[in-house]
Structure 1
Amino acid sequence: MFCRYFSFFCLCLFLPTQRRCSLGHGSLLHGRDTASLPGFENLTTGYNKYLRPYFGGEPVQIAVSLDIASISSISESDMDYTATISLRQRWTDPRLVFHGNESFTLDARLVELLWVPDTYIVESKRSFLHDVTVGNRLIRLFSNGTVLYALRITTTVACNMDLSKYPMDTQTCRLQLESWGYNENDVTFTWLRGNDSVHGIEKLRLSQYTVEHYHTLVSKSQQETGSYPRLILQFELRRNVLYFILETYIPSTLLVMLSWVSFWITLDSVPARTCIGVTTVLSMTTLMIGSRSSLSKTNCFIKAIDVYLGICFSFIFGALVEYAVAHYSSSQKCAAKVPEEGPANELTEEMEEVNITSILNNSITSYKQKISFTSIEISSDNVNCSDLTMKSHEKIKCVLRNKMHRIIGYFTIQNPGNVDHYSKLLFPLFFMLVNVFYWAYYLYF
């Protein structure tokens, strides 16, 4: 009985002062106009807030609209986003019909005395209703029994993200509304005006994302207790890649170009070239660790930025290895020249004493030997393995030894100075080619 008087008293506060309110058979306020408003009596007489409108009959049609005030944060590590929304629900309750063409905004505390839908946000991790300075709820009653119920909510909703193309990715997130206890036989959800039911999302300005487009859907959720109506707001967020270009891509590219400077330094400048190679490798390692620190919980993903940093690290490390190979080949060649200087001088002196006749005789003798022993090949590089006196296993070892010397000869660098010469051309060319494939794949595929 107390609730009846309290609710009716609150309704009377919003009536014009010329009118008077009545409850039951007695009048609360007396004056010239003692006519009662029978429509408002339904709020207290025979109204059961625990039963939905049209109980036992057709389902209640609830039209929904949204105002997106802000999307404050989008977390890749937690895979969720936080949004502040104004949720407006509109339905018709024939028990609240009253005469006239007026509508009244009632005190939000009257919500406790009326039936309201049990709408909840699917995939919500945590939510709260704003209550400063009072609970941010609105209820408006129309003469035909239509009720407008609005709430201001901040919610954190899960959003499954595919970070394989990070930071050139586009994420699709959803905000889903569903009835908790009423299935489609009791309640049906519809968008008030389709895509126009959502306001404010096109005006959002986010730090890392741009809202590409959005659309509304009407779906159903199949559960053991029946089919439940569901409204879906789906929107796409494209990440702004400019920040990552300035923060990561350009510095890593400059480090790769810095490693190429060593190709223009002579092989004898060991401290200079070693310092450049080691410094660029350590700097690149630091840059890779820094890029991963912001996404510490998503290291299981091989992201696009990881691929690029890996490419840059490979080129920098390759430049350091290139110098090691060139310097080793140069030192080996210098070591081989030292013992050859003594015999070479003696040979020169002996050759000066040899006359032309002896050279011709030796040439003729050598030529006759080659003709008579056709099965024997004499070579300065290979060991003669066609000797008939050799055993079979010795011949096999000899053939394998010759092939090994031949293979090693293919990989022997005759002029170490050419290593830097070719590296000046090949390293930039391959790096540009890899960049073309990288950006084409991640931007257009």
Structure 2
Amino acid sequence: MSQNANKLDSSEVLPNIHIPLDYNIHAIPPVSWGGPITVNFSFNLASILDINEPKQVISLESTIRISWFDPRIKVTLPNDNKTQYILFNRNPVDHIWFPDIFVDKAKELRVPVYKIPPSYLRIYGDSQLLYSARVNYDLACPMGFEYYPVDTQECLITFESWGTTTDQMIFLWRSDDVTFNKAIKLNQHDFEISFDNTTLKSFSTGTFPSVTVRLTFRRKLTYHLLRTYLPSTLFVILAWFSMFIPLEHVPGRVTMSMTTLLTLASMFGSLSTVTPPISYTTKLDVWMVGCIVFVFATLFEFTVVIFLKYYLTGLPIVTEAGLERFHAWVNGTEFDDYDDMGDYEPSQLKKTRPMSPHINESHDIDNERTNKGLEARAEIDPTRNKQKRLSRRNNRSIMPFLSNPYDPRGQMSDLGKNGTGLSKGELQPTKARLDQNDANEQSEDQTSSKPFESKEEQKRHAGKVVLAIEKFSVIGFFFSFLVCNIFYWLDIVRTMGQVYQPNNQQT
């Protein structure tokens, strides 16, 4: 820039301002005592437009005022003794010396567009200059959410000199003129404003002056207290109530616990839409995971108790009826009717595979032979259950190879006179076979059955063990959840108000 461009004729602005012809806009105004020039700052926070936690950016609108002395500039005031300064809107700002100031960490700086820009310059009779402007800007604010939802964030608005060092210029706050709009209300935060006086920023090129406004945001706990903590606590209590349901009501107990568990999991997932996307654990995550673990513990306790109940009483978890159904399905047969003991009659057994006439013939012979055997056993033991057990055992001993068309023992190569290939003697169950079956049955009954008294004692013992576990679980669940709540909320109270302070690294 040429020297003529750096000079300003007073007639180009107004006749009542006097700027010397050798005025240099790049030269810092001289100070009578020879030290650095003092630039005073004042700040008014007009509005907090937005707090973008995922992007860690806040949007502000504020009025910034800076003042300094330039003894090279003189003004002629009216003689009314009321006017103390001359007001300019735009022209002089481009032709006088101005402090080189920028806002640190500002991502975008916007000036409201009006016909006349929202800024002015005042020149007082004592050569003091005051510049004021309204701007809004997006400011990067590093945030930490370890204590969420009781976290406290601190955002710094730093006004710093770009090229003038502290040897030539210093910044100071006018302590009586750092204000904010009392009508500012935030939905999720309470905020405070404070200021730091001159701070120094040291770089390889020198030490530069700066002043800082501190905005402290404390999150309101009311939102999550009513929408997260209270509902999740009620769900855990509901899962605890399910432990009072008797063990016999399996569907009701399992349904209540599973519904509660799924609801908590859904609530935990929905919180990701209102919490910042971070890779570490927050206080709210600890709470939600703890609630899910407590509800899962009720299901685990119920599973253990049911298993012990069957184990201690000797009841099979997989019944004989279930095994018979499985074998019937494997062998290609199906059952029409079952009684309360899971037994079936041979007449209710039907083949699903198509069979040739010879195989059907042999199948009829087998049924005749089996029915005759059942009649003989009914005479030995007329009781119903005895007859059913003999029916199953006789069926297993006779049926496998005669009724299976794929067993070579069931293939008829030489048909007898009766067209069956078997003599009449072979159609009748022999006495030796009946005696052998009776002996096997008595041996099986003696080894498998227990005295009635021992079974009753076993059931009573199992009932006492299960009841003790249930009582211990109910009481332990309650006090465990209570103790965890006490420690959790004590930690919440301890961490309230702790400000996240990132390690600022200057480059």
Q: TM-score, normalised by structure 2?
A: 0.64
Matched, 1:295 2:402: no
Kindly tell me: are residues 170 and 201 of structure 1, through their superposed partners in 2, closer, same or farther at Cα, counting changes over 3 Å? farther
In structure 1, distance between residues paired with 2:481 and 2:273 = 26
Superposition RMSD in Å: 2.9
Give the match for residue 129 of structure 2.
147
Which among 27, 37, 40 is matched to residue 51 of structure 1?
27
Give the match for residue 499 of structure 2.
none
Aligned length: 352
Give the match for residue 357 of structure 1.
none
In structure 1, distance between residues paired with 2:314 and 2:104 = 76
Deviation of residue 301 (structure 1)?
A: 2.5
CA-to-aligned-CA distance 1:417-438 (integer Å, 9 cap, x gap): 3333222222121111110110
Query: What runs of 5+ residues in structure 1 fail to find an aligned partner?
Result: 12-20, 22-36, 349-411
Give the match for residue 335 of structure 1.
314
8 Å CA contact 2:43–2:179 kept in 1: the answer is yes
In structure 2, distance between residues paired with 1:59 and 1:438 = 54
Kindly tell me: are residues 347 and 154 of structure 1, through their superposed partners in 2, closer, same or farther at Cα, counting changes over 3 Å? closer
Q: Determine what percentage of the aligned residue pairs are the same residue.
A: 25
Deviates more, 1:201-210 or 1:339-348: 339-348
Give the match for residue 409 of structure 1.
none
Give the match for residue 444 of structure 1.
494
Which among 231, 241, 245 is matched to residue 221 of structure 2?
241
Kindly tell me: are residues 347 and 199 of structure 1, through their superposed partners in 2, closer, same or farther at Cα, counting changes over 3 Å? closer
Kindly tell me: are residues 345 and 185 of structure 1, through their superposed partners in 2, closer, same or farther at Cα, counting changes over 3 Å? closer
Deviation of residue 55 (structure 1)?
A: 8.8
In structure 2, distance between residues paired with 1:189 and 1:3 = 25
SS in 2 for 1:236: strand
Instruction: Name the aligned partner's letter for residue 290 of structure 1.
Output: S
In structure 2, distance between residues paired with 1:210 and 1:346 = 73
In structure 2, distance between residues paired with 1:3 and 1:219 = 32
Give the match for residue 404 of structure 1.
none
In structure 2, distance between residues paired with 1:140 and 1:97 = 12
SS in 1 for 2:132: strand
Q: How does 1:227-306 map to 2 (within 5 A)?
A: 227-298=207-278, 300-306=279-285
Give the match for residue 395 of structure 2.
none
Deviation of residue 54 (structure 1)?
A: 1.9
In structure 1, distance between residues paired with 2:142 and 2:5 = 49
Give the match for residue 361 of structure 1.
none
SS in 2 for 1:162: coil
Kindly tell me: are residues 303 and 345 of structure 1, through their superposed partners in 2, closer, same or farther at Cα, counting changes over 3 Å? closer
Q: How does 1:36-435 map to 2 (within 5 A)?
A: 37=16, 40-42=17-19, 45-54=21-30, 58-100=35-77, 102-193=84-175, 196-200=176-180, 204-212=184-192, 214-298=194-278, 300-336=279-315, 342-345=449-452, 415-435=465-485
CA-to-aligned-CA distance 1:215-265 (integer Å, 9 cap, x gap): 433210001111100101223221110011111111111111111121121
8 Å CA contact 1:7–1:110 kept in 2: the answer is no
Deviates more, 1:64-73 or 1:133-142: 133-142
Deviates more, 1:267-276 or 1:99-108: 99-108
In structure 1, distance between residues paired with 2:214 and 2:126 = 33
Instruction: Name the aligned partner's letter for residue 344 of structure 1.
Output: P
CA-to-aligned-CA distance 1:382-436 (integer Å, 9 cap, x gap): xxxxxxxxxxxxxxxxxxxxxxxxxxxxxx9962233332222221211111101
Instruction: Name the aligned partner's letter for residue 53 of structure 1.
Output: P
Larger radius of gyration: 2
Q: TM-score, normalised by structure 1?
A: 0.72
In structure 1, distance between residues paired with 2:136 and 2:453 = 95
SS in 2 for 1:110: helix
Kindly tell me: are residues 150 and 347 of structure 1, through their superposed partners in 2, closer, same or farther at Cα, counting changes over 3 Å? closer
8 Å CA contact 1:10–1:107 kept in 2: the answer is no
Deviation of residue 341 (structure 1)?
A: 8.9
In structure 2, distance between residues paired with 1:99 and 1:51 = 24
